[in-house]
């Protein structure tokens, strides 16, 4: 018997779902006990989590087994995030905790993967003496070779970025066996160059994955009992596949599959499969995508549409490619086409040069839109980004902190109001398992991505149930089951 352990750690995660810092500890079948054991920890966004499943797959094929117990490990890999400075500080602190492990087991191999590996490259080996291996997000196929190099006493680095790599043919090892919700990466990299953002430097150029392999992966997930997929990309609206059936690459304007079409293909895999996606970009989100969400009951009525700021000048400095008016127009399109759609956002407080008036415009936009949820951050300057080169990080930390507090307080009140409006409704919930507080209570999500907690009775995870909403907090809906049989998805 061996166990997998992937730990999701809190606060720096920009995308939803894995903010709770909960560890997933799940078991797989036994294999030979003399194989080398891998312990893998993931930080950052959903894409990093999804990449960890690719890494596990590559290393399991290379003879490794995974362990939940770091003390048993021959290989410890940290899949890292660079999005804000505190994300990197956290990894460095974690590395210091490994010192005693290395003392106990001098053969232990420690590797850094992901965005921090890509950003710092071989400098990481000089800065962090414990580290034996550095591999960037496009170099995971090379891990077996890199580990061989480490085996011969060298330290190994591969941080080459690729224009093609999508790991399309790799079957990710699902690290939460028996799970019901899976991530499926549909594209990698980002071409947007928002001035604050390190992602284009750590993940390279944008490229889309072959749609057939995406649909196939979703079909396999349904066959394994999964009931929800989240399609992942930094800007899913720019998904495009322009290779025809003969394998010929068509020119830029001849797209054979766009994001709306891909969404529909995935939705058609099974009416019992919920389809979510992240992240939409306000400059690119089309009405065609909104119509697909409206027309397919199993595409969840939830859009994460990061605004970053409510002021057009700040948005210009951020190089986001839209204005406040454009963003509000996209919100109006969502409300018109999908009236029951929930909307969440990301907001940055205290970007370079942000005045008090500009900050007030963020608050006023929040009031105008009434977001269901928001992920809110203090601006953190990142090396090599456009903002670092062009602007001064001139908003004092105390002011960033005060503005962030105002944003959070406004959002908490708004989330509470949005949740209160749902009291009395009967909603369809996909059951995820026991709630955090008690085994007697189960939780799941509605189509709008709200967490709903209810008394367990005889429900099992992966089942669709109807729940009447009775009460709420700003973060959770509380309800009671109204009936239990598997039902069709709500429209
Ligand atoms: N691709 C997504 C976001 C990816 S990063 C998009 O374009 O919306 C997730 C979030 O982290 C961003 O939306 C932004 O709000 C935040 N973020 C990115 N860089 C940051 C920085 N330097 N400081 C603070 N927050 C940042
Ligand atoms: Fe970063 Fe902008 Fe790309 Fe999002 S769209 S990953 S914020 S550069
Ligand atoms: Fe994700 Fe962090 Fe990299 S947000 S893309 S892991 S910098």
Mean pLDDT score, 435-458: 93
Which of ligand 2's atoms lies nearest the C-alpha of 281? Answer: 5
Question: Considering all CA atoms of the chain, what is the largest pairwise distance in Å, rounded to the nearest integer?
Answer: 65
CATH of the domain at 16: 3.40.50.12160
Peptide linkage before 279 cis (omega within 30 of 0): yes
Where a domain ends, among 270, 300, 330? Answer: 300
CATH of the domain at 231: 3.30.750.210
Same domain flag for 406 and 452: no
Supply the range of the domain harboring residue 450: 426-485
C-alpha span between 327 and 312 (Å, rounded): 10
Res 155 pLDDT > 70:
yes
Closest C-alpha to ligand 1, atom 24: 379
Structural domain count, the chain: 4
Residue predicted with more confidence, 100 or 75: 75
C-alpha span between 342 and 302 (Å, rounded): 5
Which phi-psi region, left, alpha or beta, contains residue 11 (left: φ > 0; alpha: ψ -120 to 50)?
A: left
Res 251 pLDDT > 60:
yes
Res 28 pLDDT > 80:
no
Q: pTM for this one?
A: 0.92
CATH of the domain at 470: 2.40.50.140
Same domain flag for 314 and 413: yes
pLDDT of res. 407:
98
Number of CB atoms found within 10 A of residue 24's CB: 17
The set of protein residues with a Cβ atom below 6 angstroms from ligand 1 is 14, 83-84, 196-197, 199, 234-235, 279, 281, 306, 308, 346, 348, 377, 379-380, 382
Same domain flag for 69 and 93: yes
C-alpha span between 84 and 204 (Å, rounded): 18
pLDDT of res. 220:
96
> Does 491 map to a domain?
no
> Does 163 map to a domain?
no
> Does 70 map to a domain?
yes
Same domain flag for 60 and 124: yes
Mean pLDDT score, 239-244: 85
Query: What ligand has the least distance to the C-alpha of 308?
Result: 1
Res 253 pLDDT > 70:
no
Same domain flag for 399 and 455: no
Q: Give the model's confidence band at 243: pLDDT under 50 very low, under 70 low, under 90 confident, else very high.
A: confident
C-alpha span between 189 and 118 (Å, rounded): 12
Closest C-alpha to ligand 2, atom 2: 194
> Does 216 map to a domain?
yes
Closest C-alpha to ligand 1, atom 11: 14
Query: What ligand has the least distance to the C-alpha of 46?
Result: 3
Q: Give the model's confidence band at 476: pLDDT under 50 very low, under 70 low, under 90 confident, else very high.
A: very high
Q: Are 196 and 242 in contact (CB under 8 A)?
A: no
> Does 435 map to a domain?
yes
Q: Is 278 in the pocket of ligand 3 (CB under 6 A)?
A: no
Query: What ligand has the least distance to the C-alpha of 347?
Result: 1
Closest C-alpha to ligand 1, atom 13: 346
Res 365 pLDDT > 50:
yes
Residue range 11-22, pLDDT digits in tens: 333 333 332 222
Where a domain ends, among 421, 455, 477? Answer: 421
Closest C-alpha to ligand 1, atom 18: 197
Mean pLDDT score, 28-47: 79
> Does 173 map to a domain?
no
Same domain flag for 402 and 447: no
> Does 72 map to a domain?
yes
**Percentages helix, strand, coil for the chain, rounded to the nearest 5?**
35, 25, 45
> Does 117 map to a domain?
yes
Same domain flag for 139 and 72: yes
Ligand 2: residue of 191, 200, 380 to mutate (most ligand atoms within 8 A of CB) is 200
CATH of the domain at 367: 3.30.750.200
Q: Give the model's confidence band at 297: pLDDT under 50 very low, under 70 low, under 90 confident, else very high.
A: very high
Same domain flag for 376 and 228: no
**Which residues lie below 8 Å from residue 100, measured CB to CB, with a gap of 6+?**
none
Same domain flag for 296 and 321: no
Residue predicted with more confidence, 55 or 175: 55
Q: Give the model's confidence band at 33: pLDDT under 50 very low, under 70 low, under 90 confident, else very high.
A: low
Q: Mean pLDDT in the chain?
A: 90
Mean pLDDT score, 237-250: 80
Spacing, Cα 14 to ligand 1 middle (Å): 6
Mean pLDDT score, 104-125: 95
Q: Is 114 in the pocket of ligand 3 (CB under 6 A)?
A: yes
Residue range 333-348, pLDDT digits in tens: 999 999 999 999 999 9
Q: Is 15 in the pocket of ligand 3 (CB under 6 A)?
A: no
Res 491 pLDDT > 60:
no
Q: Give the model's confidence band at 175: pLDDT under 50 very low, under 70 low, under 90 confident, else very high.
A: confident
Same domain flag for 248 and 264: yes
pLDDT of res. 197:
98
Same domain flag for 32 and 119: yes
Q: Give the model's confidence band at 439: pLDDT under 50 very low, under 70 low, under 90 confident, else very high.
A: confident
Q: Give the model's confidence band at 485: pLDDT under 50 very low, under 70 low, under 90 confident, else very high.
A: low
Q: What percent of the chain has pLDDT over 70?
A: 90
C-alpha span between 32 and 34 (Å, rounded): 6
Ligand 3: residue of 47, 205, 232 to mutate (most ligand atoms within 8 A of CB) is 47
Q: Give the model's confidence band at 24: pLDDT under 50 very low, under 70 low, under 90 confident, else very high.
A: very low
Mean pLDDT score, 185-212: 96
Mean pLDDT score, 304-310: 98
Ligand 2: residue of 207, 235, 385 to mutate (most ligand atoms within 8 A of CB) is 235
Q: Is 113 in the pocket of ligand 3 (CB under 6 A)?
A: no
Q: Give the model's confidence band at 228: pLDDT under 50 very low, under 70 low, under 90 confident, else very high.
A: very high
Q: Give the model's confidence band at 9: pLDDT under 50 very low, under 70 low, under 90 confident, else very high.
A: very low
The set of protein residues with a Cβ atom below 6 angstroms from ligand 2 is 190, 192-194, 197, 199-200, 234-235, 281
Q: Is 203 in the pocket of ligand 3 (CB under 6 A)?
A: yes
Where a domain ends, among 271, 300, 329? Answer: 300
Ligand 1: residue of 306, 344, 351 to mutate (most ligand atoms within 8 A of CB) is 306
Which of ligand 2's atoms lies nearest the C-alpha of 200? Answer: 8
Same domain flag for 292 and 193: yes
Lowest-pLDDT range of 144-148, 379-383, 425-429, 480-484: 480-484
Residue range 323-334, pLDDT digits in tens: 999 999 999 999
């Amino acid at each position: 018997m061996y166990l997998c352990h992937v730990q999701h750690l809190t606060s720096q995660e920009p995308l939803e779902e894995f903010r709770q810092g909960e560890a997933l500890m799940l078991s797989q079948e036994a294999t030979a006990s003399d194989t080398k054991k891998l312990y893998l920890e993931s930080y950052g966004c959903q894409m990093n989590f999804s990449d960890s499943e690719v890494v596990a797959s590559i290393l399991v094929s290379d003879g490794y087994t995974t362990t939940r117990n770091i003390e048993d490990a021959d290989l410890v890999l940290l899949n890292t995030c660079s999005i804000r400075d505190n994300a990197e500080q956290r990894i460095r602190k974690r590395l210091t905790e490994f010192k005693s492990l290395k003392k106990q087991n001098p053969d232990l191999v420690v590797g850094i993967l992901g965005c921090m590996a890509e950003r710092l490259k071989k400098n990481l080996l000089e800065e962090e003496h414990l580290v034996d291996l550095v591999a960037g997000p496009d170099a995971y196929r090379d891990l077996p070779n890199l580990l061989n190099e480490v085996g011969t006493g060298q330290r190994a680095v591969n941080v080459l970025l690729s224009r093609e790599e999508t790991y399309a043919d790799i079957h990710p090892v699902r690290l939460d066996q028996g799970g019901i919700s899976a991530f499926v990466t549909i594209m990698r990299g980002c071409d947007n160059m928002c001035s604050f953002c390190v992602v284009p430097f750590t993940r390279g150029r944008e490229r889309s994955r072959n749609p057939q392999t995406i649909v196939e992966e979703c079909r396999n997930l349904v066959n394994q009992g999964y009931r929800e997929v989240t399609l992942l990309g930094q800007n899913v609206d720019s998904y495009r596949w322009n290779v025809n059936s003969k394998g010929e690459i068509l020119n830029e304007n001849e797209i054979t599959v766009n994001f709306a079409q891909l969404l529909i293909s995935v939705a058609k895999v099974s009416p019992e499969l919920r389809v979510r996606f992240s992240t939409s970009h306000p400059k690119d989100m089309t009405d065609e995508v909104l119509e697909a969400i409206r027309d397919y009951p199993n595409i969840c009525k939830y859009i994460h549409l990061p605004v970053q700021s409510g002021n057009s000048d700040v948005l210009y400095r951020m190089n986001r490619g839209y204005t406040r008016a454009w963003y509000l127009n996209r919100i109006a399109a969502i409300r018109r086409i999908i009236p029951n759609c929930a909307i969440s956002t990301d907001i940055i407080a205290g970007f370079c040069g942000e005045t008090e008036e500009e900050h007030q415009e963020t608050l006023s936009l929040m009031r105008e839109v009434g977001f269901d949820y928001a992920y809110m951050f203090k601006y953190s300057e990142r090396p090599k980004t456009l903002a670092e080169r062009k602007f001064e990080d001139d908003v004092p930390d105390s002011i960033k902190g005060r503005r962030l507090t105002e944003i959070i307080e406004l959002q908490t009140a708004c989330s509470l109001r949005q949740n209160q409006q749902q009291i009395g409704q009967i909603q369809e919930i996909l059951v995820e398992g026991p709630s955090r507080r008690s085994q007697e209570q189960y939780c799941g999500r509605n189509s709008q991505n709200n967490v709903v907690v209810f008394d367990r009775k005889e429900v099992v995870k992966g089942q669709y149930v109807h729940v009447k909403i009775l009460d709420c907090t700003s973060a959770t809906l509380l309800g009671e089951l109204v009936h239990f049989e598997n039902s069709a998805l709500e429209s």
